[in-house]
Structure 1
């Protein structure tokens, strides 16, 4: 379904199941279709809300440069329309950055916060990674080789060669589409000045932070920083995994989410 924002643009979203809302915010190269295999387990006891950011998936595309604020306010409009109760908010990578800022700006809306492969700032390292991606956009294969291999752990990438080759066949034609590449450049550039390190103390809701041993995009020290500076947080270290935790460790991924948001979990003391 599509929701029309006050600026006239439309956000694509899906709602699955019933119960306490669990909102999923995508990584930068993802879309609602990326969660296909996770819909059944995550909507079993929760209402699962999937959404494509502006410039992503089936949502409308933009033309001018923007910052994270554009995405945050679009998500706020949509969720105000969909639910009047607090919800669980999950974000991974780019989606985690948006989730983090959403929770800081609208704490009463977020019951529990889940941040996977997320950082509190766009470091010099991450900015240069983004610059490398943008420089490779002139060539679809170069863009693939600059982005995709580093999202996975070397072990997973090597042991799943056939699966990766199938992904390559599907992604390179997509990376040849000017509209997709333009969107990716805008999405990447929207993170350039992201930094909420001085606002993390404002977060008080229970927060789960997860990071991976071989995450070359948002290294584990960045999740350690979040855990140290978010008062009511827990940190999970996932060995032998890269940035794409959900694909490399799908069962663990689902278990962590369901366990953290389950009704039977002990009460947190603030």
Structure 2
């Protein structure tokens, strides 16, 4: 792992593998760069892969307060500046997708392609917003571990909760590495994020929308909000919200084929 201190004072940790056209991976809530371990070798064959630990997650530093999606997008922009990378292919899982959309809105010229993985451009519903507040309160009073223990099983398909105990344990262990400040800050930031369907509608770069057939976090009606010639919509059969762990081969193939199809093109 490499760590770099940004001008904001935040230290961002990231894994940097391979060479060629840059591919940036942003993990989901209470995750880390380790979410990508099983699929990284397949993706790495298509370029230089930079798997980031978001602020407050993994080995990156944390601070108190709301972590807005725009602030986290600025973290990424500052990291790319430090790495002297003017443009990247950006893929975001869940929370990472919300950040990727904020980045696309604020820094559209810095994207070669955009991928939302088990994510959505829609804002939280009122119920989801209430749940974010409950999560922040629970983490503040009870800590990260019991929250992660309750969260992780919901991210896997029901059958995988029984058949993949080692994967659930791994995801929980990764989640335990999230700071309380990071988990609270991101919960509040996700609660307040705006509708960004218009961002997808306006972008003319290649876009991948990759969803899990059994995802209970992102329902079917929120997975594919736009249908355009530059948008590839892919559904992974038999997986829920953690395709990179539930079916790493199919997940990696979905991203790799998208990258190969759009290599260096800037458009589909």
TM-score class normalised by the smaller sequence: 0.7 to 0.9
Match of 1:111 in 2: 112
Verify: 1:122 aligned to 2:124, yes or no. yes
Match of 1:207 in 2: 207
* C-alpha separation in 2, matches of 1:96 and 1:9: 21
Match of 2:5 in 1: 4
* C-alpha separation in 1, matches of 2:93 and 2:149: 22
Q: The residue matched to 1:191 in structure 2 has which SS?
A: helix
* C-alpha separation in 2, matches of 1:258 and 1:171: 25
Q: The residue matched to 1:78 in structure 2 has which SS?
A: helix
Q: CA RMSD in A?
A: 2.7
Q: The residue matched to 2:119 in structure 1 has which SS?
A: coil
Q: The residue matched to 1:224 in structure 2 has which SS?
A: coil
**Mapping for residues 73-112 of structure 1, pairs under 5 Å:** 73-112=74-113
Gaps of 5+ in 2: none
Deviations 1:47-67 (A, max 9, x none): 001111111111111122231
* C-alpha separation in 1, matches of 2:253 and 2:211: 15
Q: Note closer, same or farther for the CA distance 1:171–1:35 as it changes in structure 2 (3 Å cut).
A: closer
Equivalent pair of 1:26/1:51 in contact (CA under 8 Å)? yes
Scaled by the length of structure 1, what TM-score is found?
0.86
Q: Note closer, same or farther for the CA distance 1:264–1:224 as it changes in structure 2 (3 Å cut).
A: closer
* C-alpha separation in 2, matches of 1:83 and 1:156: 41
| Alpha-carbon distance, 1:109 to partner | 1.2
* C-alpha separation in 2, matches of 1:147 and 1:42: 27
Q: The residue matched to 2:24 in structure 1 has which SS?
A: strand
| Alpha-carbon distance, 1:133 to partner | 3.0
* C-alpha separation in 1, matches of 2:161 and 2:72: 31
| Alpha-carbon distance, 1:158 to partner | 2.1
Scaled by the length of structure 2, what TM-score is found?
0.87
Match of 1:232 in 2: 230
Higher mean alpha-carbon deviation, 36-45 vs 249-258, is at: 36-45
Higher relative contact order (CA closer than 8 Å, sequence separation 6+): 2
Q: Which of structure 1's runs of 4+ aligned residues deviate more than 6 A?
A: 264-270
Q: The residue matched to 1:126 in structure 2 has which SS?
A: helix
| Alpha-carbon distance, 1:181 to partner | 2.5
Match of 1:152 in 2: 156
* C-alpha separation in 2, matches of 1:235 and 1:168: 26
| Alpha-carbon distance, 1:153 to partner | 0.6
Higher mean alpha-carbon deviation, 1-10 vs 130-139, is at: 130-139
